[in-house]
Amino acid sequence: MDKAAQRQHALDLPEVLFRIALYLDAKDVITCSVVSRAFHAFFAPFVWGNIHMGLHPSQQKTVRYEDPFARFVSFDTKALDDQEQCQPSREEKLLEVLQRIAPWIRSLSIHEHQSPRQLILGGHFTTLESLSIMGPSFNNEFDWTYWTSCMALVKQNSAHLRSLSLTNWRKQYNRFRMPTWNPIAECAQHQSLRSLSIKAGYINREHMASFWQLCQHLESLKLEYIYVTLSPPRVSRKDRAGTAAKSGINLGYPITNRTFPPTGTEEHFWAVTAPTVRLPKLRKLTLNRLYNTGSLHQLHWFIALCPMLQTLEWTISREAVFPVKEFKHYLAAKTWPELDSITIKEHQNPVSGKEYADIVAILQASQRPLKILDLKLQYLESDTFDLLRQNRFKTLTKIDLDWAADGSSADPSNPPAPGVSKWVQEVLESCPSLEYISARNITAQDILDGNPWVCLGLREFKVMINMDFNEREPERGPKRLKYTKAEENRCRAVYEQLGRLEHLRVLHMQCRFWCTHAMKCVSLPLELGLGLGELCKLTNMKELGFHDSQDMRMADLEWMLQHWPRLATLHGGRLSWKRSKSFGNKFVRDSLLATRLGAEKVQHPKPWIHDDSGLRSYMRTNGITEVYDSESESGSESEEDEGANSLMPEEQTQLP
């Protein structure tokens, strides 16, 4: 065998190609798959495995970071109108490409409907494992064509489909006013489906039987803004008798499959504590504002029916009441023995410190370590914090101290209690598994007096850093403050602590509670000369928020864009200029900042621009373009990004 044949066989080995791919980024892998048949045969399933249709360019950057091989398809009807009739349209070319790569696609997400023709491909996708469908907001012939294609997608991929997401799904009617298709009923027989997400839709009473049948195999369920009619669970006489004997309570109220005691009574509560299990395999449940059903019904007839539940994310409407008493009873009865993450918010009644302490005391008796306990608190007392310190600091991954109070008033309009800053420092230096922390305030002095932070895996830091420069006033206007040597050293020491958090993605140093005290605080200055360069290893940074009284120079901004390639959102403060370029109008500085951020596709609050001829003349003279709006800012992609991630016909015609 000659050397050429040996080299050819080596490239045919998947192990060799996989090793080579470890040294290539997504763009290089795509390029190699175009010019090499061996690479094309091996990498095609990875390159074309995840397709997004109609995703807005402003959101593509975030998706690309999660999956570098994500591909974006855009059916632009305007391009079709500009072309001559004798030439094949852009849509036809895209359809040909999608038909050719359909066997490799494993995940398909439809974010927006730009053309009726984009969905005639339903018959070509037969190996989808993940499907995300965005429903149309109108009802016409296109609506009927769309749902027909969706029905084909769900039906033909029933053997492989493991994840299904439906957004803006409503009752669809044909000209005879009969429902045309129901995805819940269609998926009821799917044995492979493990994840279901429904947002902005309806689940009516006639579909509940199919819905419960579908839930028998689910491991993850997410319902958001859903109109649902929850039916009472079936409780047999044997179950009722067993529950009564176990609890020691004699239920004198007759229970049948269709009759229940009045809601809120003790008899009603014990009648529903032993229902038929509806979600036996569910491990993650997300409920976000279920309409047409109360919070108590959601707890009794939904959440309590998940014996394997590990993660609960429950957002109740602002008008509803969180049933704390019933929830504590379920916890004490070990209804969810594996539950380790609890997030409950947006309800009308905040949880008191005593109730929170009771919940923590119940959870500490469980065998599994608690990871997340996020409740809407009236305030967090020192006794409860001591309980967390004694039992949960080693395993805690998320903590919210926004409503913490060390015995003083928990009113957010008042200055933060002095002990709260020490609590934040203690958490940072004692919780090695911490990934998220939110609090009103931490002082630089407490950071310097404390031990080094051990939460090196922290991803979100939402705490205002008060530098304790009490004798100073916050920054006003383009003129920057001059700091003493001691103050500069203090800033660098704080930056050194932050620089050790190499996995940090979100850094919010804004005061999220309005109060007079916040207006007098001097937060951590974002200046290279004061230690900003210590954050050079935070390459995963996606979002930065800084104090509104701060100014930022263009040099500091350029450094961030260079060292934080994933930065997608920046908000707070102002842009500062040197004296030689000082301009009296604040809106000019904001315009320049917004323009620079817009060029890098970084989201930011749109500044208010005066319709002033002098301002616009100044911008034209200095080569400054208009501030990007929501469409123009993200409507143009760079050639590099477009070539690497956009599904273009010109690129696909070169495939081997």
User: Is residue 176 over pLDDT 90?
Assistant: no
**Structural contact between residues 296 and 326, judged by C-beta atoms closer than 8 angstroms:** yes
Q: What is the pLDDT confidence band of residue 112, given thresholds at 50, 70 and 90?
A: confident
pLDDT value, residue 250: 31
DSSP 194-208: -EEEEEEEEE-GGGH
Q: Do 470 and 446 touch, CB atoms closer than 8 A? A: no
Backbone angles phi and psi of 611, in degrees to 5: -80, 75
Q: Given this model, what pLDDT does residue 595 score?
A: 61
The band of 214, judged by pLDDT with boundaries at 50, 70 and 90, is confident
The full 3-state SS of 104-157, as one line of letters, equals HCCEEEECCCCCHHHHHHHHCCCCCCEEEEECCCCCCHHHHHHHHHHHHHHHHC
Per-residue confidence (pLDDT) for residue 22, from 0 to 100: 67
Give all strands (DSSP E) within 383-425, no chain letters: 398-401
Averaged pLDDT for residues 634-643:
38
Three-class SS of 553-590: EHHHHHHHHHHCCCCCEEECCEEECCHHHCCCCHHHHH
Q: What is the pLDDT of residues 383-430, one digit of tens each?
A: 778 777 876 788 888 888 877 764 444 444 444 455 788 999 999 999
Q: Is residue 220 scored above 80 in pLDDT?
A: yes
Give backbone dihedrals phi and psi of 133, rounded to 5 degrees, phi first.
Answer: -120, 130
